[in-house]
Structure 1
């Protein structure tokens, strides 16, 4: 007959209890790991999908608001020399400077440019203007920042730009056409890319430069990718938009 410390068949009760405890612990750990996995998946979905949905809605609203106040025609302007570009004054933090169009990023790429680079701007409103830099058309550096994979992913395709690509900036004063020149990968502490002549302290600017900054690589932030473009031409709002973006301008104003 089994002893008092043994289960029927000779199995010790103590070993059976230990086995039950291990089984329960393993079950709990397994459930915790599954829960952690689900939470991680939900977080990734929120970060890569929902933040884009929310930001897209805010940016669309900002574009429409700017377009409704814009009084210029939407018919394409004939090529002409309109003299020196008008340089506007920076608005208050969180206010709209204008709209950026980048055909390389797609036929519908229309993003607002907002004053400021805080999270309140970059996480919802799109491209943020570095307040320490100039305005569109100014001699020197007009610099903006934007996210790549989240919060609207406004500069997700920054790495696809090739020399010669045109980037259009629309403000209440008119349209500024920049031509992409080159990009550069730097560490996050390289604030010299925002100087009047990027990376050249003390240099006197001779050109009007557009600098776009974003995180690098696409799914990380260990570095920064910097895209430089140079002003090629400008035309006043009263002349109408460049032909390449005329349909987008019309659509933004509800006339397309």
Structure 2
């Protein structure tokens, strides 16, 4: 039957054939979906996850700090029979035993990074047991805080809270404070160095020839470099300045950086 507009009405009303779903089309849609999921995961790991992990790590660190302050019992003064010296005196640092793998033993505070910067420190540098738990790991068999030699530690620069994310922003003289259940150990930042992953001499008792007396305690902080890469290591060095016992209250080195 013809219509006024021309053409056969039966032909115009005939159903169009359904478009067949091809294997290539389905595969393309699956790849697009997978790509979106991967991008979301990367965004979580590199940005949003760091914010959440970092905030949680800092909150847990503050809780531990308060717990140590409440549990602290000052040692009884030694009965020497001699009057105490007038004026400020140098306090010998308490040397703690080396922690077991994944055992939390200290907090690191760096005023340059803000008053809320506080990350727990634990024994060992394995990813699964220490670094991926937002901890700063202590290299086994290196010195402990305040002990002569090299107190060597490592942490992530990206992902899992990224404790050493801003390590390249340290200024000479910045305080690096290690808080423990017995007191605070203050180091002063000296310099940065970039090395290959095979250059393990940064963990030696004296990692660099600095103009300091023999037997000086050092701190060495290591992380990956450049950002989001494992090609090199960024290494920050500091020199021990002082120990402040818990009963003396927080040291002046914790004051905010302006």
Shared fold per TM-score greater than 0.5: yes
Q: How far, CA to CA, are the matches of 2:208 and 2:111 in structure 1? A: 27
Q: How far, CA to CA, are the matches of 1:38 and 1:24 in structure 2? A: 22
C-alpha spacing 1:124/1:51, structure 2 compared with 1 (3 Å): farther
2:242 aligned to 233, 241, 249, which one?
233
CA shift at 1:150, angstroms? 0.4
Which has more helix, going by share of residues?
Answer: 1
C-alpha spacing 1:52/1:155, structure 2 compared with 1 (3 Å): same
Q: How far, CA to CA, are the matches of 1:160 and 1:147 in structure 2? A: 15
How far does the alpha carbon of each residue in 1:145-196 deviate from its partner, in whole angstroms, 9 at most, with x for none?
1001100110000010111111111112211111100011111122111111
C-alpha spacing 1:59/1:114, structure 2 compared with 1 (3 Å): farther
CA shift at 1:236, angstroms? 1.5
Output aligned runs, 1:76-95, within 5 Å. 80-95=88-103
Deviates more, 1:181-190 or 1:89-98: 89-98
Q: Which runs of 5+ in 1 are unaligned?
A: 1-19, 74-78, 248-256
After TM superposition, the score normalised by the length of structure 1 is 0.76
Deviates more, 1:127-136 or 1:232-241: 232-241
1:42 aligned to 23, 27, 40, which one?
40
Q: How far, CA to CA, are the matches of 1:196 and 1:173 in structure 2? A: 24
Do 2:125 and 2:137's aligned partners in 1 also have CA atoms closer than 8 Å? yes
Q: Which runs of 5+ in 2 are unaligned?
A: 1-18, 74-86
Total equivalences in the alignment? 219
Does residue 174 of structure 1 match 2:183?
yes
Q: How far, CA to CA, are the matches of 1:62 and 1:174 in structure 2? A: 15
* Cross-structure match for 1:220: 229
* Cross-structure match for 2:125: 117
Output aligned runs, 1:35-74, within 5 Å. 35-48=33-46, 49-50=48-49, 53-54=52-53, 56-58=55-57, 60-71=59-70
Do 1:163 and 1:182's aligned partners in 2 also have CA atoms closer than 8 Å? yes
Q: How far, CA to CA, are the matches of 2:133 and 2:55 in structure 1? A: 8
Output aligned runs, 1:25-36, within 5 Å. 27-36=25-34
- Secondary structure of residue in 1 paired with 2:235: strand
CA shift at 1:58, angstroms? 4.8
Does residue 107 of structure 1 match 2:106?
no
Q: How far, CA to CA, are the matches of 1:92 and 1:24 in structure 2? A: 58
Q: How far, CA to CA, are the matches of 2:32 and 2:96 in structure 1? A: 55
Work out which of the two has the higher radius of gyration on C-alpha atoms and give 1 or 2.
Answer: 2
Q: How far, CA to CA, are the matches of 2:199 and 2:227 in structure 1? A: 18
